A and B are shown apart, each in its own frame.
Chain A
Amino acid sequence: MKVVLQNLTKIFPSRDKKAGKEVVAVNDFNFEIPDGQLVGLLGPSGCGKSTTLYMISGLQKPTSGKIFFGDDDVTELSTENRGIGLVFQNYALYPHMTVMQNILFPLQNLKGKDKLTKEEMLDRAYEAARLVQIDELMDRKPSELSGGQQQRVAIARALVKMPRVLLLDEPLSNLDARLRLQTREEIRRIQKETGITTVFVTHDQEEAMSISDVIVVMKLGVVQQIGKPQSVYDDPQNLFVAKFLGTPPINVLEGKVEGGKVYIGSEAVLEIEGVEDQEVYIGVRPEGLEPCADGKLTCSLNNLEVMGRDASVVASHENAISPVIRAIISSDIKIDPSAQSVKFNVKPHKFFIFNKETEQRIYFEVK
C-alpha cells in the first residue's frame, strides 16, 4: 500500500489568544511513500515528524492537504477505519492485561464481516507473537517485561489486525543502547517479512540511516530532503541536512570562493569551476580530510584519539563554526601527537559548499 501525502499542512492555534502566534507544525509536505518500504521521518524535536505520523494515523486532522492510502483518499476517514497499526513511543500497552490479552484486544473489536472466531483470534495472536518472538511470554503482564519485550508486544499488537500501514513513533527511544541496535534490526526484519509499508519517526540519524529504505529529513515543519540514506548523506541539499546526518558530525567552516578557488582563511583548499565569487559555508565530512605533509588546510592539532581500526584527529581552526575539526583516518597513518599543527588535503566528493544566506548547497565542478 503506497501512502501519498499531498500538500499536507498542520497548524496549531496558539494557546494564548492574545499572543496570536500560530505554530506551523508541518508545512506543505508532499511525498509518495512507495509500497512496502520502510521510511524514516528524521529531524530534531519540534520538526513536525511526529505530527506527520499522527496525521497519517488519523489521530490528528491536517489543517489542509490530503492523505491517500493507495488510491483511497483517507483524509476524512477516522483512525479506526484507516487500517493502520500504530506503535506509541511509550508502547501504551494496557498494564492490566496480559501480553495475550493486549494482542487480542484489537481483534476483539472487529465487527460484522471481519468478526473472527475465538480460534482464529488465537491463531492470529500467536502468529503475530511468533513474528516478534514473544510467544513464550503470552501470560505475562507488561510490567513483568523488559523494555525491548514490551516494544515487541506493542509491534505485535499493531500487526495482529494486519494493517495496511504500520506507524512507529520513536520506536527505539526508550531502549538502552545495546537493545536499540538489536531492536532496529528486528524492526527491519519484521518489516521485510510482512512487507507492510512502514513509517517510523526518529530523531536519531544513525537509527534512520541504518534501517530505512528512504529517509525524510525535516526541520521546523518543512521537508529538507528525501532520499535513500546513503544518497542524502553523500549529497546533502543544504547545510542543515549536512550537519544533521553523520557521526561524528560534519566539520563546518566559514570561507569564500574567489577566482575559482575555495579559501578557508588565507589558504586555498580546492580549485573549482562554475561558482561565482561569494562568502560560503564549507562542510567537510570527517572522512574527507586527509592528513598530508603538503596539505592545503592548516589546523592546530588538539589531540589524537586512536580507536583501534580508526583514529580521530581532533584539531581546531579559527574559521571553524563547529567546535572542533575532526578527521577520521586509518590508524595506519602516523601522526605525531606532539606536533603543533596538522595539514590536511580535502577529498572533493566529501567537500560541500553552501550559500551563506540561504544555506543551500552550491554545486561545483572540480578543476
Chain B
Amino acid sequence: MVDNKQQWKAWLYLAPACILLLVFTVWPIFNTLRMAFLNGYGNMAAIGGATFEFGIENFVKVIEYKEFLQCLQNTAILCVATVPISTILALLIAVALNSIKPLQKTLQTIFFLPYVTNSIAIGMVFAAMFNIVGLKQGSAMADTWGIINNVIQFFGGEPVNWLNAGSTYVSNMVVMVIYIVWNALPFKILILLGGLQSINKQYYDAAKVDGTPKARVLTKITIPLLSPMLAYVVITGFIGGFKEYSSIIGIFGDKMGPADDAGRLNTMVGFVYDALERDRQGRASAAALILFAIILAVTLFNNNVIKKHVHY
C-alpha cells in the first residue's frame, strides 16, 4: 500500500498525463455531448451571446437531412464491400507469402508500400488511372484515356466513365472499393503474416503425416488457428470503414463526388466536417454521436459473432 502521505507524489507524477487526457480527450467528449443536446448550437452564435435550449432537435435535423441518409448509405456500402474483400485477399496473400522462401522479404516490402505512402497521393494516382483525360473518342480533341480504360480497350472492352462528370454511382463505388481494398491490404497482410508465423509448424507436420489436402489444411487448421488475428482485422476494418473520409477526398477531391454530382459519395465523417464548416457544431456533434452509436453496435455485433468462431 502507498503511504497516505506519499499519495500526493503519485498524483504529481500522474498529473501531466491526466491533464492532457482531460483537456484533449475527456473535455471534447463531454463537450460533444453537450453541444449535441443544445438545440441549433453554433460556436459563432454562442460567442454572440445566444443561448440554446436543451433538446434533441440536432438529432432530428440530422436524420431529416437527405444528405445524411446518402452519407449513411455510402458508408455502409463501403464497409460491407471492402472489409470482406480485403480480409480474404489479405489472408490469401499472407498464406502465399508465408509459404514461399525466395523473395519473401522483397514481396513483403512491396505489399507493405501502400501503408507508408500518403493516401491522398495514392488517391490522386488512382484517380488518374481511372480518369478520362480529354474528350471521348471520335471527337476532334485529344482522346487520352486513363490506364484502366486503355487496358479494357486492349482486351476489346468498352471504356467506362469511372469517375468523371456523367459517371454512374455504381462505377464510382467500384473505384472506391478497389482503392480502399488496396489501401487496407498492407496492414491486414502484416497482421495475418505475423499470426501465420507464430503458428507452431508441428501442426502442419502432423497434418502432413495424416495426408491432409492443402485446402483442408487451410480451412481446418490455418484459419481456425489464425482466427484471433482475423477477428482483429475484421473489427478494426469495420471501425476504419465507418470512418472512411480521406479516401473519397483522395479520389474525388473535396467535392466528394463526380463534377456534376458533388457530395454523392460523401460519408458520415464527411457529413460531420460539412456541418462544422457551416458553424453547426450542434448538428456535427449529433452526427458524430450517431456514428459512434453505429460503430459501437456493429462492433458489439461483430464481437458476438466472433466469439462463436474464434478459438483462442
Residue A256 at the chain B interface, CB threshold 8 Å: no
Q: Does B307 contact A (CB under 8 A)?
A: no
- Chain B residues near A90 (CB-CB < 8 A): 200, 202
- Indicate whether B211 reaches chain A with its CB closer than 8 angstroms: yes
B265 CB to nearest A CB, Å: 41
- B contact face: mostly helix, strand, loop, or mixed: helix
Known contacts A80-B210, A109-B216, A95 near B225 by CB under 8 Å: yes
Contacts A92-B203, A94-B203, A95-B225; is A86 near B209 (CB within 8 Å)?
yes
Contact of A88 among B202, B210, B212, B220 (CB under 8 A): B202
Question: In the complex, A56→B5 CA distance in Å?
Answer: 70
Q: Which of B209, B213, B225 lies in contact with A96, CB distance below 8 A?
A: B225
Chain B positions 215-230 with a Cβ under 8 Å from a chain A Cβ: 216, 220-221, 224-225, 227
Instruction: Tell me if A237 is interfacial: C-beta within 8 Å of chain B.
Output: no
Task: Provide the residues of chain A in CB contact with B203, threshold 8 Å.
Answer: 92, 94
Distance of B166 from chain A, by nearest CB (Å): 52
Which of B211, B212, B216, B220 has a CB less than 8 Å from the CB of A81?
B211
The CA of A350 and the CA of B217, in the complex, are separated in Å by 55
The answer to whether B208 has its CB under 8 Å from any CB of chain A is yes
Chain A residues with CB below 8 A from B105, complex form: none
| Contact count A vs B, C-beta below 8 Å | 53
* A109 vs B209: C-alpha distance when bound (angstroms): 11
A156 to B205, CA, bound (A): 17
* Inter-chain contact B208/A95, CB cutoff 8 Å: no
Question: Once the chains bind, are B311 and A106 in contact (CB under 8 Å)?
Answer: no
CB distance from A78 to the nearest CB of B (A): 8
- Check A94/B221 contact, CB under 8 A, given A59-B205, A88-B202: yes
Cα-based distance from A172 to B225 in the complex (angstroms): 26
| A150→B203 CA distance, assembly (Å) | 14
Q: Does A84 contact B (CB under 8 A)?
A: yes
On whether A92 and B202 interact (CB within 8 A), knowing A81-B211, A84-B209, the answer reads yes
* Chain B residues, Cβ within 8 Å of A94: 203, 206, 220-221, 224-225
A57 to B208, CA, bound (A): 10
A109 touches B213 (CB 8 A): yes
Given known pairs A109-B213, A109-B216, the reply for A92 and B208 (CB within 8 Å) is no
Q: Looking across the interface, which residue of chain A has its beta carbon closest to that of B225?
A: A96
Look across to chain A and name the residue whose beta carbon is closest to the beta carbon of B227: A96
Please, how many angstroms separate the alpha-carbon atoms of A59 and B203 in the complex? 13
CB contact between A79 and one of B209, B224, B227 (< 8 Å): that residue: B209
Contact A95 to B205, CB < 8 A, known contacts A109-B211, A161-B210: no
CB contacts (< 8 Å) of A157 on chain B: these are 206
Question: Is residue A105 contacting chain B, with contact meaning CB distance below 8 A?
Answer: yes
| A80-B225 contact, Cβ under 8 Å, with A90-B200, A92-B203 | no
* Contact flag A96-B205 (CB < 8 Å), given A90-B200, A106-B210, A109-B213: no
Give a binary string over A265-281; 1 marks a CB under 8 Å from any B CB, 0 the rest: 00000000000000000
Question: Once the chains bind, are A57 and B209 in contact (CB under 8 Å)?
Answer: yes
| Chain A nearest Cβ from B139, distance in angstroms | 61
Q: A81 CA to B209 CA in the complex, in Å? A: 8
Contact A59 B221 (CB under 8 A): no
Q: Cβ of A95 and Cβ of B202 under 8 Å apart? A: no
With A88-B205, A92-B205, A96-B311 already in contact, the answer to whether A109 and B224 are too (CB < 8 A) is no
Contact of A59 among B208, B212, B213 (CB under 8 A): B208
Cα of A109 to Cα of B207 in the assembled complex, Å: 9
Chain B residues within 8 Å of A92, by CB: 200, 202-203, 205-206
| CB within 8 Å for A109 and B212 given contacts A92-B203, A96-B224 | yes
Interface 0/1 of A74-101, CB less than 8 Å to B = 0000011100111010101011100000
Residues from chain B with a CB closer than 8 A to the CB of A88 are 202, 205-206
- What string of 1s and 0s marks CB contacts (under 8 Å) between B168-210 and chain A? 0000000000000000000000000000000010110110111
Q: Specify which chain B residues have a CB less than 8 angstroms from the CB of A161 in the assembled complex.
A: 210
Known: A88-B202, A94-B203. A80 touches B224 (CB 8 A): no
Chain A residues with CB under 8 A of B224: 94, 96
Q: In whole angstroms, how far apart are the Cα atoms of A81 and B211 in the complex? A: 7
Q: Mark A52-76, 1 if CB is under 8 A from B, else 0.
A: 0000010100000000000000000
- Asked if A109 contacts B225 (CB within 8 A), the reply is no
- Per the 8 Å Cβ criterion, residues 146-188 of A in contact with B are 157, 161
Residues of A within 8 A of B211 (CB): 79-81, 106, 109-110
- Taking a contact as CB atoms closer than 8 A, the residue among B206, B225, B311 that contacts A86 in the complex is B206
B: residues with CB less than 8 A from A are 200, 202-203, 205-206, 208-213, 216, 220-221, 224-225, 227, 311
Q: Give 26 CB contacts A-B under 8 Å.
A: A79-B209, A80-B208, A80-B210, A80-B211, A80-B212, A85-B209, A86-B206, A86-B209, A88-B205, A88-B206, A90-B200, A90-B202, A92-B200, A94-B203, A94-B220, A94-B221, A94-B224, A94-B225, A95-B311, A96-B225, A105-B220, A106-B211, A109-B212, A109-B213, A109-B216, A161-B210
Instruction: Given contact pairs A80-B210, A105-B212, enumerate 17 new A-B contacts (beta carbons under 8 Å).
Output: A57-B209, A59-B205, A79-B208, A80-B209, A86-B206, A88-B205, A88-B206, A90-B200, A92-B203, A94-B206, A94-B224, A95-B225, A96-B311, A106-B210, A106-B211, A109-B211, A109-B216
Which 10 pairs from chain A and chain B are nearest by CB? Answer: A80-B211, A96-B311, A106-B210, A92-B202, A96-B224, A92-B206, A86-B209, A109-B212, A88-B202, A109-B211
